Amino acid sequence: MCPICALLLLLAALVALVYIFLTWNFSYWKKRGIKSAKAWPFVGSFPSVFTQKRNMAYDIDDIYRQYKDTDRVVGVFNTRVPQLMILCPEYAHKIFVGEFRSFHDNEFGKFANKKVDQILANNPFVLMGEEWKERRAEITPGLSANRVKAVYPVSQSVCKAFVDYIKRQQRMATADGNNAKDLCLCYTTEVVSDCVLGISAQSFTDTPTPLVGMIKRVFEQSFGFIFYTMAANLWPPIRKLYSVALFAKDVEQFFFDIMEKSIVLRRENPKQQRDDFLNYMLQLQDKKGLNTVELTSHTMTFLTDGFETTALVLAHTLLLLGRYPADQQKVRDEIGQGDLTFEQLSELPYIDACIHETLRIFTPLLSARKLVTQAHDFVNKNGVTVRVQPGDVVIIPANSMHHDPEYYEEPEAFKPERFLEVNGGVRKYREAGVYYGFGDGPRVCPGMRFALTQLKAALVEIVQNFEIKVNPKTRTDNELDDTYFMATLKGGIWLDFETRK
């Protein structure tokens, strides 16, 4: 045989081997009597992660719609790994709440590496087992109603500065209006740094501190990280050889420095004590003997989880109020004029409903991916039982459920009324297993109260002072950004703020 032919033959054999490796398990679900969604070699059932032509949530949505009427669960492939997608709300609710023990951890936890990623690896969202339990119990009291109340005056003064900032930005705005996400990120940066650390990021000035830029960079690596998780699925040993951090090194270092400074500042000025998160964390440090790295990474959880999600939700709430002026007016009627006390702020049912309706349409956690921690049986509509084993992953398509006309009439329309108490409230949808704005069960978002307070405080000030208008540059449907891992409107949210007299 000629050398070239031998080489070609070898190559062909190699390609065949790789192909077999990639598709070997594609019969996994069929063998167990469960249908499988279409899968391609290498990319599995979710090609959009690689093509980046549309948000991966739409891959999930296609599968959800295709099988939800005939099946309760359907097999999918994350690259070459078989995973189970849940199609019925009863099972979704069980996974989050009733059968929590069997679905205790997030898949994400498998990919975080404490050595390369101090910030992420200490976040309750990625922690597993006992470690999660301990950290969660430590952090939750720091976010209690009393502590949120203690920093409410801070939030209020930040909101006033935010309104002035919006006025100035609007005067300088081009025909495209204002980028709502950038505006909201300035707000949440300022609130979080002031409420958590007690320092101002000067976000509303022409000379913001580097904090603002750093915060913008916190999530910029997210795609590289998602790609890495894909690679780790293709070939798990890669996790031992090579690891990608979600946070860039210099960003991480910056946050460690700023945290250390704030801690020193607080310890040296006991007079400046207030019952905020840093104060709580410092007490915890004394009680548990945490070192600075531990203390810093715990407190970082507040920062990283706080600003991005809350900013996104605020921007989308403003967008939807801009699109639906009648609802905007209802919000205005509900809040009236002047400052609200913390108690008054807590009782604004219409604003609450608007926020939950926004969270339904643009839900930050597009899908939940839970790690099986105890074997569990699912029974499909045709009576076939399928058992998932520890280490398997189940996917709950939260975004698809939020947009399913079976559960939400006219799902693309903004209808806050559906979440009002007279119609059963948020609880009705949560108990039915079709609403996951803040998640549910023992892992439900511990920052919910803090986030809602920040959101409402800002909405009150903005709606009192401005008429929110959607700039024509903004698209009119709810199409998701192609690549971002949380829900955000494709093309950005562009708004105009007309000062009210």
Ligand X SMILES: *[C@@H]1O[C@H](CO)[C@@H](O)[C@H](O)[C@H]1NC(C)=O
Applying CB under 6 A, does 23 fall inside the site for ligand X? no
Q: Please, what is the minimum distance in Å from the beta carbon of residue 96 to ligand HEM? A: 6
Residue 427 Cα distances to 197, 269, 353, 356, 409, angstroms:
34, 44, 12, 11, 17
Applying CB under 6 A, does 25 fall inside the site for ligand X? yes
Give the residue at shortest CB distance from ligand X.
Answer: 25
Q: What does DSSP assign to residue 174?
A: B
Applying CB under 6 A, does 109 fall inside the site for ligand HEM? no
Applying CB under 6 A, does 89 fall inside the site for ligand HEM? no
d(CA 441, CA 421): 21
Binding mask 344-363 for ligand HEM (x = CB under 6 A): ---------------x----
Which residue bears the tokens 């070192």? 291
Applying CB under 6 A, does 365 fall inside the site for ligand HEM? yes
Of the candidates 35, 65, 133, 136, which one interacts with ligand HEM according to CB under 6 A? 136
- Under 8 Å between Cβ of 384 and 34: yes
Applying CB under 6 A, does 276 fall inside the site for ligand HEM? no
Q: Please, what is the minimum distance in Å from the beta carbon of residue 145 to ligand HEM? A: 14
Does residue 210 sit in helix, strand or coil?
helix
d(CA 312, CA 179): 12
Q: How big is the CA angle at 229 (ends 225 and 230), to the nearest 5 degrees?
A: 115
d(CA 496, CA 471): 6
d(CA 458, CA 466): 12
Distance from first CA to last CA of the chain, Å, rounded? Answer: 89
Does residue 288 sit in helix, strand or coil?
helix
Say which entry of ligand X, ligand HEM, none residue 380 contacts (CB below 5 to 8 A, set by partner kind). none
Looking at beta carbons only, is 393 or 489 nearer to ligand X? 393
Looking at beta carbons only, is 25 or 221 nearer to ligand X? 25
Of the candidates 195, 447, 468, 493, which one interacts with ligand HEM according to CB under 6 A? 447
Q: Please, what is the minimum distance in Å from the beta carbon of residue 20 to ligand X? A: 9
Applying CB under 6 A, does 28 fall inside the site for ligand X? yes
Applying CB under 6 A, does 137 fall inside the site for ligand HEM? no
Of the candidates 58, 74, 77, 82, which one interacts with ligand X according to CB under 6 A? 82
d(CA 138, CA 325): 43
At position 283, the amino acid (one-letter code) is Q
Applying CB under 6 A, does 450 fall inside the site for ligand HEM? yes
Of the candidates 9, 15, 20, 24, which one interacts with ligand X according to CB under 6 A? 24
Does residue 66 sit in helix, strand or coil?
helix
d(CA 475, CA 473): 6
Q: How big is the CA angle at 164 (ends 158 and 165), to the nearest 5 degrees?
A: 85
Looking at beta carbons only, is 378 or 438 nearer to ligand HEM? 438
- Under 8 Å between Cβ of 120 and 299: no
Of the candidates 89, 322, 446, 492, which one interacts with ligand HEM according to CB under 6 A? 446
Say which entry of ligand X, ligand HEM, none residue 364 contacts (CB below 5 to 8 A, set by partner kind). ligand HEM
Select the span of 21-29, 122-130, 150-158, 291-299 touching ligand X (CB under 6 A). Answer: 21-29
Looking at beta carbons only, is 123 or 297 nearer to ligand HEM? 123
Return the residues of window 178-237 that contact ligand HEM according to CB under 6 A: none
Select the span of 13-21, 79-87, 148-156, 432-440 touching ligand HEM (CB under 6 A). Answer: 432-440
* 175 token code pair: 């025909």
User: What does the buried/exposed string (b/e) look like for 349-376 if buried means 16 or more CB atoms within 10 Å of the residue's CB?
Assistant: ebbbbbbbbbbbbbbbbbbbbbbbbeeb
Applying CB under 6 A, does 75 fall inside the site for ligand X? no
Looking at beta carbons only, is 25 or 346 nearer to ligand X? 25
Say which entry of ligand HEM, ligand X, none residue 82 contacts (CB below 5 to 8 A, set by partner kind). ligand X
Q: Please, what is the minimum distance in Å from the beta carbon of residue 28 to ligand X? A: 5
Of the candidates 109, 364, 397, 433, which one interacts with ligand HEM according to CB under 6 A? 364
* Count of residues in contact with ligand X, rule CB under 6 A: 5
Q: How big is the CA angle at 109 (ends 104 and 113), to the nearest 5 degrees?
A: 150
* 421 token code pair: 């108490």
Of the candidates 121, 211, 245, 313, which one interacts with ligand HEM according to CB under 6 A? 313
Q: Please, what is the minimum distance in Å from the beta carbon of residue 29 to ligand X? A: 10
Residue 498 Cα distances to 68, 467, 471, angstroms:
45, 5, 12
Applying CB under 6 A, does 119 fall inside the site for ligand HEM? no
Q: Can you give the C-alpha Rg of the chain in angstroms?
A: 24
Q: Please, what is the minimum distance in Å from the beta carbon of residue 261 to ligand HEM? A: 20
Q: Please, what is the minimum distance in Å from the beta carbon of residue 139 to ligand HEM? A: 6
At position 82, the amino acid (one-letter code) is P
Applying CB under 6 A, does 440 fall inside the site for ligand HEM? yes
Looking at beta carbons only, is 235 or 242 nearer to ligand X? 235
Dihedral angle over CA of 173, 179, 185, 188, nearest 10: 70
Q: Which of 398, 387, 65, 51 is nearest to 230 (CA)?
A: 51
* 323 token code pair: 């699109």
Select the span of 112-120, 150-158, 268-276, 297-305 touching ligand HEM (CB under 6 A). Answer: 297-305
Site residues (vs ligand X, CB under 6 A): 24-25, 28, 81-82
